Chains A and B, each alone.
Chain A
Amino acid sequence: DTGVSQNPRHKITKRGQNVTFRCDPISEHNRLYWYRQTLGQGPEFLTYFQNEAQLEKSRLLSDRFSAERPKGSFSTLEIQRTEQGDSAMYLCASSMDRGNSPLHFGNGTRLTVT
């Protein structure tokens, strides 16, 4: 168990470009979450999966954002036509499928849109 892994750690992109982030959860966890965090704020929920099914998306998630978890293992988060307001830390977390299971977070991907 190496914990939750996220790649890349940092991404700098120009406005209008597409970016994709990857998350590898803890192998026995069937729940996977994406959060976004800006400076001085707590993580904001974006979306989550149970196995390969995407169960909920936040209203914060515009149509430019899409997430997948094709085989119920790793997940990708894609942002199309990036905007400067997308600059943030994107955090992935995984958990067991129990109501009170703690979340295990990765160290995030820091996105800077110039």
Chain B
Amino acid sequence: SQKIEQNSEALNIQEGKTATLTCNYTNYSPAYLQWYRQDPGRGPVFLLLIRENEKEKRKERLKVTFDTTLKQSLFHITASQPADSATYLCALDPRTTDSWGKLQFGAGTQVVVTP
């Protein structure tokens, strides 16, 4: 069966350090992978998309890598700030016929950045 696994334990990190989150998947051949941020009581907000032929993508303090051989994506927040505290979700497109955009999500990893 298809699975998307993210660290279930919260990641507690000190302000200024780099937070690294993992997303592992099985039985998918995604064309791309997306990362979202979700704050309590709010809907997810899109952060970054990386395609299967891209190794790395950056946006400001965020960096995403995508290894289709390992079936893994890493999400990095550099110089973390308390405002980065949230749950981060990875999402895959299962790439079946007519399923473009039907993303499937991992359970998310909560990040807590302390001053």
B contact residues around A108 at 8 Å (CB): 42-43
B contact residues around A4 at 8 Å (CB): 43
B32 interface residue, CB < 8 Å from A? yes
B contact residues around A98 at 8 Å (CB): 100
Q: Is the interface of B mostly helix, strand, loop or mixed?
A: loop
Query: In the complex, A98 Cα to B102 Cα: how many Å?
Result: 11
By the criterion CB–CB under 8 Å, are A103 and B41 in contact? no
By the criterion CB–CB under 8 Å, are A56 and B43 in contact? no
CB distance from B17 to the nearest CB of A (A): 25
Count A-B contacts at CB 8 Å. 64
Quick one: which of B4, B42, B101 has the most chain A CB within 10 A? B101
Are A99 and B93 CB-contacts (below 8 A) given A93-B43, A107-B41, A107-B43? yes
1/0 contact trace for A55-92 toward B, CB 8 Å? 11000000000000000000000000000000000010
By the criterion CB–CB under 8 Å, are B102 and A41 in contact? no
Binding site for B on A (CB under 8 A): 4, 31, 33, 35, 40-45, 48, 55-56, 91, 93, 95, 98-108, 110
Binding site for A on B (CB under 8 A): 4, 31-32, 34, 36, 41-46, 49, 51, 89, 91, 93, 98-108
